Structure 1
Amino acid sequence: MSELAWWQRGVIYQIYPRSFQDSNGDGIGDLAGITARLPYVAELGVDAVWVSPIYPSPMADFGYDVADYCDIDPMFGTLADFKQFADRAHELGLKVLLDFVPNHSSDRHPWFEESRSSRDNPKRDWYLWRDPGPDGGPPNNWLSRMGGSAWEWDAHTGQYYYHAFLREQPDLNWRNPQVRRAMDDVLRFWLDRGVDGFRVDVLWLLIKDAQFRDNPPNPAYLPGQPDHHRLLQTYTEDQPEVHEIVRSMRATLDEYGRRVLIGEIYLPVPQLVRYYGAKGDGADMPFNFQLLNAKWHAGDIAGMIRDYDGALPEHAWPNWVLGNHDNPRVASRAGVVQARVAAVLLLTLRGTPTLYYGDEIGMTDGEIPPDQVQDPAEIRQPGIGQGRDPERTPMQWDASLPNAGFTNGRPWLPIATTSSVRDQDRDASSMLSLYRRLLSLRRNNAALVQGTIEHVTAYGDVLTYERRHRDQRLFIALNMSCTEATVQSHRGVVLLSTLAGRDGQALTEGVNCLAAGEALVASIRS
């Protein structure tokens, strides 16, 4: 497998830094805490850690409002702490990926403070400023993804500025060459410090319509959906010019060797795959988020796998995501039993998997009392299910009360109630043990890393497919129901099953039984 890039062979583990490990008792996770827990991550069997934003920030959106792209927020530590973290990760054989947040800055970033100081300031055009519309109101009908108008009035200069998210997050003007050069300098700053790649936040939103045309109404909008769904995002996302920016980022990273560029892109597959670039000069992996919102049904997921694999350009490398900091956890979406099936699915599909911290111990969404809600998405649009606090609760390391080994202080969010790393560490039937076994199986079987995926089929509630590489042939069967099911197979040997005691058993030619909620990987012969 040496001909593959490290990010093609590897598995990525996302850490939400506020919630992984607190080292100083303030109730908020930090770099020193992450560093202390890196041996656990390495022993799990993953290959890279992606850390959500740790830059200086007023924390209006918990770090996605960046006030300085080239430093560390004191909440998380210092640049020296970052060096210790990166060095320790590399010692353990782990790559380090950072969040890059180029679409918008904080309104307290010096760039924006200059931009809003006067209309003739040299940085005025670094952001999107417009005169009022004919009625004296906003320039057009564009809506914020956090609710309400995307335009904020600035009385001092008599213009509106655009913000796709909070008003505290003004969007940068990526049509300005100076902005592009400044952001390229940011990439180089971190690449020079040994970062192995970036996950680029909201990559598909970077360019907006040059004519600032109104977005058309969305005929499929339903009451209760987020406010911005009232409009189709025709002129505020996925503009053709964004691909030039992606190519430029790719070129910068290529100067540093095999660094990975991952794009956060919530688009249908035909649009998503264009972000690979025409000749492999785009993002290495435009994130494939289909499993985050998929109906947990064998037929739906089989179709999804076939369509995605068929749509990929010849040069493209696939990837799959099961959970992240913006979506409910898989154990809450699919249920605790099916979360085990989902683990087998994620780690046996073709392409690079990304795990979300805590999913390996089956963490579920936390219960957040109304008086402890932190997320601005919930505070601004309560009751419509946009709040992201439940999937961001602190990692549960042990059974100690009240904070599960996360902090000696009061945690920034309540601790959830599922079991901990220590509970599961020596339990051969635990979710943690299952993940360790799956990651080991993947590492030691070329078919799971670089093999083709074939015969993707749904038989009622059972999803099956094969992974092949040279003379190795693996059969995967996933029972997505709560009842026993049967599956057709060739003769083989079970390498891994979610059912205790089945590893090593033979599969017979013809009909084989799967227990309710069982998933297995078998080596088979024709």
Structure 2
Amino acid sequence: MIFNIQLILTLFLFQQNDAIVSEIVWLKKDAVVWSVDQKIKGKAHGMKEGNLWLFHNSRSQPVEVENGEFEVHVKLKEIHNTFVVAYNEKDMGMASDTLFLTLAYKPVPVYKPVIRMGKDHIHIQAIELENPLSETIDLEWLSATGNPETLEIIGTEDLGVIFKKPEKDGDYWINLKSHSLHDTKTYKAMFRKTGKEYTVFGPDNPRHPWMDSAILYQLSPYNFSASGGLNAITKKLPDIAALGINTLYLQPIFQSHRKGQGYDIVNYFKLNPAHGDEAELRNLIQKANELGLRVLFDLVLNHSSIHHPYAKSRIAHGPLSHYNDFYHTTFDGAKYSSHYNADEYGFINYFWKDLVNLNYDNEEVQRWMLEACKYWVEEFGIDGYRFDAIWGVMARKPEFGLRLRNELKSIKPDIFMLAEAKGREPEVYQYGFDAAYDWTNDTLWVSQWSWEYEYNASESKTAFNHPDAGKRAAILKASLFSDLDHANRILRFTENNDLPRFPVHHDLERSKTAAALVFSIPGIPMLYQGQEIGALPHPYRSVPIFDQGSSIRSQDSVGVFAYYQQLISKRKEYPAFQGGTLVPLEFKGNPEIVAFQRIAGDQMVTVILNPADKPASVSTDELPGFSKQDPKKQKWYNLLKDERVKLIEDNGKAKIYLKPYEIMWLAHTTFEH
């Protein structure tokens, strides 16, 4: 391509002796770009109109000069693009250096398949979201392999297809292949048939039911085990599956500047070589899927490392850098702007100086992040993302979430989109995410866990260790019984990568009770690596969690592995815990008890918790559904101890006795007398 430009210039230009009295200078550096629409600038002072030409690959066009400068809007139709500006006037000819712009992605059309159910037919239409090169596209609709039965095409319509409704129940997938100039892309539509009912999943539809039964396990490749890396995780997958986990959540595995948890990304499309290579990653995902585990990646969309090549280019070249506007530099008054900090280069960050915010008002930034998200789904088949600090993006550009949802769920309709944002805010779901964190609505403390009553950098202060035992129940009730409309979409935890280990500032018994509460309330429960063996080092430390040569269970010195195994097993066994409703209970004269019922269909489980450091009791008369007959004939069972509920008599009333910090899961069952 460069040869073609040079040949044209040779024919176009001529020079005599030292006739050049000026020069043409680019006001732009070479760059990798994220849009086909580009604006290039330069200086050409003292040159007459009509004699300045831009040569773009094998094409040319005249260039207008104003006040010694020129600006040209160009469309990149090829991946590799070279630009030269040349001038010719009588005996004077000259040319600029060559400017190189490389398109970072294949500019293919983006489609969203939309399903509409008719009486006897299924109508699917391809909604065109983008067509960067305004191409006329060949679309191909196919019934995916593996469907319960092959879907029969009975007709076509504008950018769409009509299938006959199937006879067999199950999940059905339809592939849309888009054949364009640069690539063939596959988009997917999905629906489920259950009897006469049809449920559609995708960008405009509810989240897939698998998310209601998800049990997450968060882990970090950098300190999961002493030997480190993806292979070490793969070897432990059977242990994780035996615990009852069905969803892995890997902290960032991408190239980062520092060692550690990996949130300072310097390349969104490459693995951190310290963790392993692509073959090892594919093997991990394959083995996980074989064990029934889905895989989520942790991806940072709010910021990059200040050591990212784009940020370094901005520092080095300022306005001449293509990436000068890729970063957030304006005190815009957006939500959470009270947490803005600016550095000497004008970058804005929230809390960490070397983690600089991206500018989502820039279309190229949006396309860059969209392509990064789609890459790992298309290339490695992952099942979803946890989007780190997405609360910051939502504060500055909330509508990006819907764009992200459209593009991700158009290639994988059942992909899981977990937002690190406040799960009690309806906006997080209105803007496209499936689930979010158990945080309060307080904007001054961005990530306040709803169980915390006070922030302390070195100590965990929660409802379970509040110095005033009388306030513990009130804090928990405020957390558990408010904003129930979205309760099933909230991520629940006692530990994660940012919190101190729960047993460090509580004790083992309270930790077990808190964990049982997590697994009994609506939402998506999560364990953090090492929680199942009682690990104590703070997540920010690089202390390895597991010995590679021993099973996870064998490294449990406090006896909690089997306990977590039991919690997970019971949650899976009882549908009331998975998507069921929560009905709060109150007891007269005993406000320090936290109690509620989980109900799904005709199944009911009653949960009773004593968060105080002294014994308590509950009268069976105040428990809905509890037998009013002779207490000796009652048919309630404590699921956590696998035993019949023992009652005490107090003033002629049958009562349930709870030890300090005790929690019970009570289910109605049948006994022989």
TM normalised by structure 2 equals: 0.57
How far apart are the structure 2 equivalents of 1:53 and 1:329?
A: 20
1:286 partnered with 2:422? no
Q: Is residue 492–residue 522 contact of structure 1 (8 Å, CA) maintained in 2?
A: no
Structure 1 residue identity aligned to 2:639: L
Q: Which residue in the other structure is 1:252 paired with?
A: 407
Q: Is residue 637–residue 669 contact of structure 2 (8 Å, CA) maintained in 1?
A: no
Task: Rate the CA distance shift 1:287–1:486 in 2: closer, same or farther, 3 A.
Answer: same
Specify which of 441, 445, 470 is matched with residue 570 of structure 2.
441
1:515 partnered with 2:668? no
Q: Deviation string for 1:371-411 (max 9, x for gaps)?
A: xxxxxxxxxxxxxxxxx636x6432x4xxxxxxx2589xxx
How far apart are the structure 2 equivalents of 1:170 and 1:82?
A: 28
Q: What is the Cα deviation at residue 152 of structure 1? A: 2.1
1:470 partnered with 2:609? no
1:334 partnered with 2:484? no
Which protein is bigger by CA-based radius of gyration? 2
Mapping 1:55-204, distance limit 5 Å: 55-59=254-258, 62-116=261-315, 117-129=317-329, 150-154=341-345, 160-192=346-378, 193-204=380-391
Q: Is residue 534–residue 556 contact of structure 2 (8 Å, CA) maintained in 1?
A: no
Q: Which stretch shifts more, 118-127 or 485-494? A: 485-494
How far apart are the structure 2 equivalents of 1:465 and 1:364?
A: 31
Identity rate, percent: 24
How far apart are the structure 1 equivalents of 2:544 and 2:605?
A: 37
1:355 partnered with 2:494? no
- For residue 265 of structure 2, give the secondary structure of its aligned residue in structure 1: coil
Q: Which residue in the other structure is 1:402 paired with?
A: none
How far apart are the structure 2 equivalents of 1:318 and 1:327?
A: 17
Q: Is residue 305–residue 456 contact of structure 1 (8 Å, CA) maintained in 2?
A: no
Structure 2 residue identity aligned to 1:284: D
- For residue 327 of structure 1, give the secondary structure of its aligned residue in structure 2: coil
How far apart are the structure 1 equivalents of 2:646 and 2:490?
A: 30
Task: Rate the CA distance shift 1:10–1:495 in 2: closer, same or farther, 3 A.
Answer: farther
Q: Is residue 292–residue 323 contact of structure 1 (8 Å, CA) maintained in 2?
A: no
Structure 2 residue identity aligned to 1:48: T
Q: Deviation string for 1:302-348 (max 9, x for gaps)?
A: 122111315x39xx734322211111122124322100101110001
Q: Is residue 144–residue 165 contact of structure 1 (8 Å, CA) maintained in 2?
A: no
**Aligned residue pairs, count:** 417
Q: Deviation string for 1:123-147 (max 9, x for gaps)?
A: 21111347xx9xxxxx9xx9997xx
Task: Rate the CA distance shift 1:463–1:197 in 2: closer, same or farther, 3 A.
Answer: same
Task: Point out 4+ residue stretches in structure 1 off by more than 4 angstroms.
Answer: 1-4, 142-145
How far apart are the structure 2 equivalents of 1:92 and 1:73?
A: 25
How far apart are the structure 2 equivalents of 1:423 and 1:478?
A: 29
Q: Is residue 481–residue 584 contact of structure 2 (8 Å, CA) maintained in 1?
A: no
Q: Is residue 451–residue 479 contact of structure 2 (8 Å, CA) maintained in 1?
A: no
How far apart are the structure 2 equivalents of 1:457 and 1:468?
A: 17
How far apart are the structure 2 equivalents of 1:78 and 1:423?
A: 28
How far apart are the structure 2 equivalents of 1:333 and 1:7?
A: 31
Task: Rate the CA distance shift 1:162–1:317 in 2: closer, same or farther, 3 A.
Answer: closer
Q: Is residue 610–residue 662 contact of structure 2 (8 Å, CA) maintained in 1?
A: yes
1:276 partnered with 2:429? yes
- Aligned-pair RMSD on alpha carbons? 3.1
Specify which of 609, 628, 637 is matched with residue 494 of structure 1.
637
Q: Is residue 513–residue 662 contact of structure 2 (8 Å, CA) maintained in 1?
A: yes
Q: What is the Cα deviation at residue 466 of structure 1? A: 0.8
Q: Is residue 34–residue 85 contact of structure 1 (8 Å, CA) maintained in 2?
A: yes
Q: Is residue 522–residue 580 contact of structure 2 (8 Å, CA) maintained in 1?
A: yes
The one of the two structures with greater contact order (alpha-carbon pairs below 8 A, sep at least 6) is 1
How far apart are the structure 2 equivalents of 1:496 and 1:362?
A: 22
1:319 partnered with 2:506? no
How far apart are the structure 2 equivalents of 1:299 and 1:189?
A: 46
Q: Deviation string for 1:420-464 (max 9, x for gaps)?
A: 731549x9xx22111101111111111111221112447344321
- For residue 68 of structure 1, give the secondary structure of its aligned residue in structure 2: strand
TM normalised by structure 1 equals: 0.72
> Is there any run of 5+ residues in structure 1 with no aligned partner, and where?
24-28, 134-138, 155-159, 208-237, 367-387, 398-404, 409-418
Q: What is the Cα deviation at residue 350 of structure 1? A: 1.1
Structure in which a larger fraction of residues adopt strand: 2
- For residue 175 of structure 1, give the secondary structure of its aligned residue in structure 2: coil
Structure in which a larger fraction of residues adopt helix: 1
1:299 partnered with 2:449? no
Q: Is residue 251–residue 298 contact of structure 2 (8 Å, CA) maintained in 1?
A: yes
Q: Which residue in the other structure is 2:643 paired with?
A: 504
Q: Is residue 636–residue 669 contact of structure 2 (8 Å, CA) maintained in 1?
A: no
How far apart are the structure 1 equivalents of 2:283 and 2:244?
A: 21
Q: What is the Cα deviation at residue 524 of structure 1? A: 2.8
> Is there any run of 5+ residues in structure 2 with no aligned partner, and where?
1-191, 200-207, 440-448, 453-461, 465-471, 621-625, 627-633, 648-652
How far apart are the structure 2 equivalents of 1:515 and 1:295?
A: 17
How far apart are the structure 2 equivalents of 1:406 and 1:250?
A: 38
How far apart are the structure 1 equivalents of 2:337 and 2:408?
A: 33
Specify which of 201, 223, 226 is matched with residue 22 of structure 1.
226
